[in-house]
Every structure is written in structure tokens, then in C-alpha cells.
Amino acid sequence: MAPYAVISDVHSNLHALLAVIEDIEVRGVSDIYFCGDIVGYGPRPNECIDIIKRRCKVLIAGNHDWAAVGYTETEYFNENAMAAIEWTRQTLSDEHMDDIKEFKLFKSDPEINAFFVHATPKDPDQWDYLFSLSNAAVNFKSFKQKLCFVGHSHTPVIIEMDSAGNMSTAWDRTEMQEASRYIVNVGSVGQPRDGDPRASYALVSGAEILLVRVPYDVDKTQQEMAEAKLPVRLIERLSYGH
């Protein structure tokens, strides 16, 4: 099976996206899957949609994508996230608005035995966060594939469930076992929140799942955000990865 990459939560951060795609290509990997949230928070939504559309084999919607086109409620969005969504609505071209309306909430690829969803396989449209192992255990019942890739929390982690139902976690890499299944949070390309400002994605090669970090030009994205008058808090957090 050819190696492949899974990316998520680009959030209109073009420079982070370009750095990640270059890192993937330098490794000789051509298949890229996308787990949702192209837009929201960042300054270059139209360019990011063009690239994701062209480069990704599978792409699905995140809560910010659906919020931008009015497909999901936004009352749980904080003030800054909401301001960025309003800005995104005004900045997206009609064509890109129509693109987002076509995005589905989940997809699977039988060729690699994987399921893709932005938040949780159990309730894809509820936008819950998958943080605890007990919550993960419930979610393992909601897909049948060996692998489920998610984003949404912006915190990369690999959760393994073995054939006896025992669970374990890994934060940087794991060797897949024959009888185990996995939920992989691939982290965020455009707004990491685990204290590491570098862009995050997952690379699957043979039995190995690797969580990769890629440095990018944070200053450039921050400058563009300032020019777009996006909220200061959203600009600053990119420096800290939080």
C-alpha cells in the first residue's frame, strides 16, 4: 500500500499549508486526505480551498467550514471565532462558498481501510471533542474500519484499541498491530494548540503511523491577519501554538 498523509484544521493559514504539502512531497508521498476546517481564524481562505480541492483525495467539512456557509449553529463559537467567521463570509468567493456547501461530514476509503470525520464518528454533526479514553471507547463502536482519522481539537494523538478492548495512547508514532484499531487525531496545520507552534499532520507508511511537525513562516501569516484586521488574540496564539 502506498504511503499517505492526513491533514486537518488548516484554518486559512496558507503558509502553514504550503509548508506541510512541501514536507509531504519531499517524502515522495502523493496521497493526501483532509479532515475538515479549511477556513475560519486565518487570512487566506480562498487560496487554501483551491489547494485542498486540487491536492486532496478525500475532503470533508469541519464546523468552521459549515459555519461559514450557515449550515451549522454558531452560538457556541467564542467572540474571536465568530468575528473570524463573519470576516470569512465576506471574503470567500461565491465559487468557494458553493464548494464548501458540497463538503460532506464524513467519508471512508476502503482501499486504506480508513474512516474520516472532523469531530467524532459517533455524532459527526455535534462537533464534540474526543479527549478522554472512555469517550474514545464509545467512538470505536461508531466506525468499522481499522483506522479513523479526526481533527477538531488541534491536539495530535494516536489512540489504540486492541482486540481485548484495552486502550493506549501515543503522541509521536506507533507501529500498527494486526488485531488493533486506531483513532488518530492528526492535529492542526494552521492553528496548533498543544504548545508546539509548528504545523501538524499524520503520515502512514506501511504499519507505521507518524505524527509529523513542520515549521513554517508564522510571521507571514500573522502579518496577513493583522492586515485583514482579524482579532489580536487569534494572531498571537500562533506564536505559542496554543
Q: Which stretch binds Zn ion (CB under 5 A): 1-9, 85-93, 127-135, 173-181?
A: 1-9
Residue 37 or 99 with smaller CB distance to Zn ion: 37
| 3-state per-residue secondary structure call for the chain | CCCEEEECCCCCCHHHHHHHHHHHHHCCCCEEEECCCCCCCCCCHHHHHHHHHHHEEEECCCHHHHHHCCCCCCCCCCHHHHHHHHHHHHHCCHHHHHHHHHCCCEEEEHHHCEEEECCCCCCCCCCCCCCCHHHHHHHHCCCCCCEEEECCCCCCEEEEECCCCCEEEECCEEECCCCCEEEEECCCCCCCCCCCCCEEEEEEECCEEEEEEECCCHHHHHHHHHHCCCCHHHHHHHHHCC
Min dist CB 151 to Zn ion, Å, is: 6
Q: How far is the CB of 26 from Zn ion (least distance, A)?
A: 26
Q: Nearer to Zn ion by C-beta: 139 or 188?
A: 188
C-beta of 169: minimal distance to Zn ion in Å?
A: 21
Which among 123, 125, 129, 151 is positioned nearest to 35, based on CA atoms? Answer: 151
How distant is the alpha carbon of residue 114 from its chain centre? 15
Residue closer to Zn ion, measured from CB, 34 or 174 = 34
Residues from 35 through 54 that contact Zn ion (CB under 5 A): 37
Which window, 4-12, 77-85, 122-130, 231-239, contacts Zn ion (CB under 5 A)? 4-12
Smallest gap from residue 127 Cβ to Zn ion (A): 10
Cα separation, 29 vs 222, in Å, equals 29
CB of 1 to Zn ion, least distance (A): 28
Residue whose CB is less far from Zn ion, 23 or 37:
37
Count of residues near Zn ion by CB under 5 A: 2
9 or 31, CB closer to Zn ion? 9
CB of 168 to Zn ion, least distance (A): 25
Q: Which is nearer to Zn ion, 174 or 221 (CB)?
A: 221
| Residues in 8-37 that interact with Zn ion by CB under 5 A | 9, 37
Q: Using the rule CB under 5 A, is 65 a contact of Zn ion?
A: no
Residue number with CB closer to Zn ion (24 or 186): 186
Q: Please state, in angstroms and rounded to a whole number, the distance separating the CA atoms of residues 85 and 7.
A: 21
Closest contact distance (angstroms) between CB of 111 and Zn ion is: 27
Residues at the site binding Zn ion, with contacts judged by CB under 5 A = 9, 37
